[in-house]
């Protein structure tokens, strides 16, 4: 994909896109079958114990994780996404559990990184969207200010939000389950082994991993051709951003993970979505 500076520039642009798209994220849902299969697969997986959600985005999957977990830590680089996630989780506490939507990079919980961890703090049993305090990163900058965490208890499993760049962040503890929704396809090939090393560092010795994603890319997005991992995404106002979107196919993804020491089965759905779950190779 070019030299290190080019990749860093691309990842900064990807981060800027997910900050900008946060308010309209759900408007970009993929109109294809298979999304509901992902929610059923996650419930069947049963993410019990202490759960880490990477790239939580606007909290599409967080309420479903909370229904199984004893506690959840949700990490994302975008303050804008985290505010929406806190509001969504608060709403789920006040109402009956609701279904998750089925798009990532525009529908599930797919929101890539920023560049440095920081925190905005809130506490309470019923956090609102505007209760996510602290100075937030500027719209034109992927940087935050200082590392930290935000947490609340809503009468269910404790939830902690962390704002951090997943390409540089390191966990302060280990978890029983690591989950990520619509994130893996945005990890450049150059960062793929390092990302799975991070997942390994996050897991207890007998920990499990689960992920959901899609391989869909439109012809209009392929500004550098089908062989390139770079696509162009637009906001509803037409503003364009380049992001990484790798169209993983289940069988090949399984082989890649096996070479890295993981025993993970990856399953296709009736649409362009897929999900995987498993453990380290014993």
The 10s digit of each residue's pLDDT in 182-217 is 999 999 999 999 999 999 999 999 999 999 999 999
CA angle 265, 65, 267 (to 5 degrees): 20
Look at 7-16, 31-40, 102-111 and tell me which has the smallest mean pLDDT: 102-111
Write down the residue that tokens 């505007």 correspond to: 130
Residue 236 in domain: no
Q: Which residue range forms the structural domain that includes residue 33? A: 4-216+247-280
| pLDDT grade for 157, boundaries at 50, 70 and 90 | confident
Alpha carbon 88 to its chain's center: 15
Residue 117 in domain: yes
| pLDDT grade for 159, boundaries at 50, 70 and 90 | very high
Tokens, residue 12: 């900064």
Residue 282 pLDDT: 75
Residue 71 in domain: yes
Residue 141 in domain: yes
| pLDDT grade for 41, boundaries at 50, 70 and 90 | very high
| pLDDT grade for 144, boundaries at 50, 70 and 90 | very low
Alpha carbon 132 to its chain's center: 19
Residue 139 CB: number of other CB atoms within 10 A? 9
The chain-wide mean pLDDT, for the chain, equals: 82
Residue 221 in domain: no
CA distance 147 to 212: 28
Number of domains in the chain: 1
Tell me the per-residue pLDDT of 43-84, one tens digit each, with 9 for 90 and over.
999 999 999 999 999 999 999 999 999 999 999 999 999 999
Return the closest-CA partner of residue 185 out of 143, 140, 221.
221
CA angle 101, 104, 109 (to 5 degrees): 75
Tokens, residue 84: 């929406």
Residue 258 in domain: yes
Residue 95 pLDDT: 47
What does the pLDDT average to over 215-235?
Answer: 97
What does the pLDDT average to over 28-36?
Answer: 90
Residue 223 in domain: no
Residue 2 pLDDT: 56
- CATH number of the domain to which 15 belongs: 3.40.50.150
Residue 222 in domain: no
Stronger pLDDT, 97 or 158, i.e. the higher one: 158
pTM: 0.80
């Amino acid at each position: 994909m070019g030299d290190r500076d080019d990749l860093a520039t691309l990842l900064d642009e990807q981060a800027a896109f997910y900050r900008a798209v946060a308010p309209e994220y759900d408007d970009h849902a993929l109109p294809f079958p298979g999304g509901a299969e992902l929610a059923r697969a996650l419930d069947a997986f049963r993410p019990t114990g202490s759960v880490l959600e990477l790239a939580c985005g606007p909290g599409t999957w967080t309420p479903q994780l909370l229904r199984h977990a004893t506690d959840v830590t949700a990490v994302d680089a975008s303050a804008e996404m985290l505010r929406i996630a806190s509001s969504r989780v608060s709403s789920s506490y006040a109402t009956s559990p609701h279904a998750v939507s089925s798009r990532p990079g525009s529908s599930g919980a797919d929101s890539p990184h920023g560049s440095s961890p920081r925190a905005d703090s809130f506490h309470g049993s019923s956090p609102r969207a505007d209760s996510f305090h602290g100075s937030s990163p500027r719209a034109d900058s992927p940087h935050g200010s200082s590392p930290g965490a935000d947490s609340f208890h809503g009468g269910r499993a404790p939830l902690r939000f962390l704002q951090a760049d997943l390409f540089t962040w390191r966990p302060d503890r280990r978890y029983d389950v690591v989950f990520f929704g619509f994130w893996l396809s945005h990890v450049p090939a150059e960062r793929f082994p390092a990302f799975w090393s991070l997942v390994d560092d996050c897991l207890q010795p007998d920990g499990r991993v689960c992920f959901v994603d899609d391989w869909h890319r439109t012809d209009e997005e392929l500004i550098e051709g089908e062989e390139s991992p770079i696509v162009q995404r637009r906001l509803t106002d037409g503003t364009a951003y380049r992001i990484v979107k790798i169209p993983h196919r289940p069988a090949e993804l399984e082989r890649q993970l096996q070479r890295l020491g993981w025993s993970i089965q990856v399953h296709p759905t009736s649409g362009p979505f897929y999900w995987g779950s498993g453990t380290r190779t014993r």
